Structure 1
């Protein structure tokens, strides 16, 4: 099912806001330490009853991450699967819809392209919402952690985001202290998007 079989789950702290402290932004966006800029257009699949599986579509691929646990104020997520479109109907039924915690509708095709999946399955399902997400991301390393500043749009609604990720909690706590993130809420993409579209408070 997955090419992530040997990948160790990472802990992360992520926050979203309309504005962020200038000092915090200066540390993360420092041009001398910034490892690279990436821009992507993605679609996140939201289901009201699903709080555990983060499912997104990008470049004719589907990525699923699964929530593992909270520990010391960080969330641990495990890369669960990466599928390439077209997707077989059996895979959609047996592997994807269980991740949404929803029953699968009748599927008329043997396989689906990404556009067919979105138009014929997601958009017609009363329990699912596809949300367009534009990301402009600047990556760097802080205290041995993967750190990122991002400008994101959820269906056109703009936000700023800061995140740190690592398998090591000591490194994460050092990065969190350096950035002053204890003043911010740890918000994953599922929660942030659901708040914007009115699916969560």
Structure 2
């Protein structure tokens, strides 16, 4: 056997990898190879396969904190296998070795003896077409594989240098994907497990979380979709800094979401940060703290990208509309506006108009006199001056926590139901009614209102005022509600749809 050289490996499975495939298409392949292999799977064993009439065994030695795994070849044995090699294979599969073994085993004899119908060993016959490239000193491999009639793709990066693997994976746009080796990826394919992906949206007021599964036709199905109010931007307007307590709340929420995503077997976790992290002078330090505590890298996106992704989510959910379309997404620290026709975007921008900002500035977390409300409305109107003088669109779509909570209250939803909220029509007179209701009540009283999420009681009045001002400036008596949001746009853009 040749000198054993442990290598750090990273791999993921999926129908497609748009960013990576685009990058690789600009390179010249260093080799193309087709093989037929037999993987032996036990649910908890090492990488054991038969290739080129050799029993090939690699064992996992170490997993880097950044994801790559170090695999070491320990066997490349020709058939017939000796009794010692047979025992080594069973040991690598974490299976007991019988008290007596034959002197040798052909491949057929080995499979008959240890991989029968009632055996703990599962056989996966795999046809691979592997295309290899060299990227920054690493070997990258894009493979089309066929397993017992099921097809998928897998992409891998290998090197003796773990850091080089991490950099190459990031350079290919695969930083959101989890490392999944063949012993873990093949059983999921054989069991027809749907491809699951997660998105975490770290906002100024809340952290939103979505897990969706994609079926064989490419359609998305929601597995989990929720939000936790962590008030990351608490005190941000006054100090320009995100404080330790909001960071702790947000890290705890993200950590729980990452754990839930992993338990659901997701292929990747994409995470984006919005206005709070854009604005805070210590935003980079907060991102680093989240990565250190959860292993998740937050991509802080621009307001323009936030608007574009929200628009994409809306069009994907509601379908193309005739005529002009305006989509706005109002959050805790900013609001995004996108103007378009169908799938075509004409203009997009973001403004620093968010519910958390005006709540802190005007004390809107409790009952306020009409004069104070008027001051807040005037400030919001001034800050939304970019909407002045625009023609009314054919369709106005609103999204975000303020819009969906106003809609849930309108419907009297004791339990939030996205099927009812999605596509609802919210009229301006209903927004006015709720503004009057919230203005007259403190937080505790607001929390008892059916349909209002208790943890949004502090910011709902400011959010309603923003929604009201947008409708007035665009000359719209009603808007269509989208329960979808930034996280759904990220899902479609990063993972296809």
* TM-score under structure 2 length normalisation: 0.37
Where 1:182 maps in the other structure, the secondary structure is coil
State which of 80, 83, 105 in structure 2 corresponds to 1:86: 80
Alignment of 1:27 onto 2:23: yes
Q: Does 1:159 align with 2:152?
A: yes
Q: 2:8 aligns with which of 7, 11, 16?
A: 11
Contact 1:38 1:138 in 2 (8 A): yes
Residues 40 and 48, structure 2, Cα contact 8 Å, conserved in 1:
yes
Distance 1:74 1:120 in 2: 35
Query: 2: distance between equivalents of 1:91 and 1:124?
Result: 23
Q: Return the offset for 1:49.
A: 3.5
Query: By how many angstroms is 1:198 displaced?
Result: 3.8
Determine helix, strand or coil for the equivalent of 1:44: strand
Q: Does residue 121 of the first structure (1) align with residue 117 of the second (2)?
A: no
Matches within 5 A, 1:66-77: 66-71=59-64, 72-77=66-71
Higher relative contact order (CA 8 A, sep 6+): 1
Number of aligned positions between the proteins: 193
Corresponding residue SS for 1:103: coil
Residue deviations 1:131-156 (CA, integer Å, cap 9, x gap): 10110000110011011110012222
2:230 matched to which residue of 1? Answer: none
Deviations 1:70-96 (A, max 9, x none): 112211111111110011234313x22
1: CA distance, partners of 2:192 / 2:22: 33
Which residue pairs with 1:42 in the alignment?
37
CA contact (8 A) 1:123 1:130 kept: no
The aligned runs of 1:110-149 (5 Å cut-off) are: 110-124=103-117, 126-149=119-142
> Within 1, Cα distance between the matches of 2:31 and 2:91?
36
Change (3 A) 1:84 1:195: same
2: CA distance, partners of 1:140 / 1:26: 13
Residues 12-40 of structure 1 deviation map (CA, whole Å, 9 limit, x = unaligned)? 1111102221x31132244x520111000
Structure 1 125/90 Cα, relative in aligned 2: closer, same or farther at 3 Å? Answer: farther
Q: Give me the whole-angstrom Cα distance separating, in 1, the residues matched to 2:105 and 2:163.
A: 44
Q: Return the structure number with greater helix share.
A: 2
Shift of 1:123: 2.2
Closer/same/farther in 2, CA of residues 177 and 105 from structure 1, 3 Å limit: same
After superposition, the CA RMSD in angstroms is 2.2
Counterpart-to-counterpart distance in 1, 2:56 and 2:121: 17
Shift of residue 161 of structure 1?
A: 1.2
TM-score by length of 1: 0.86
Unaligned 5+ runs, structure 1: none
Q: Measure how far apart 1:106 and its partner are.
A: 6.8
CA distance in 2, matches of 1:80, 1:108: 21
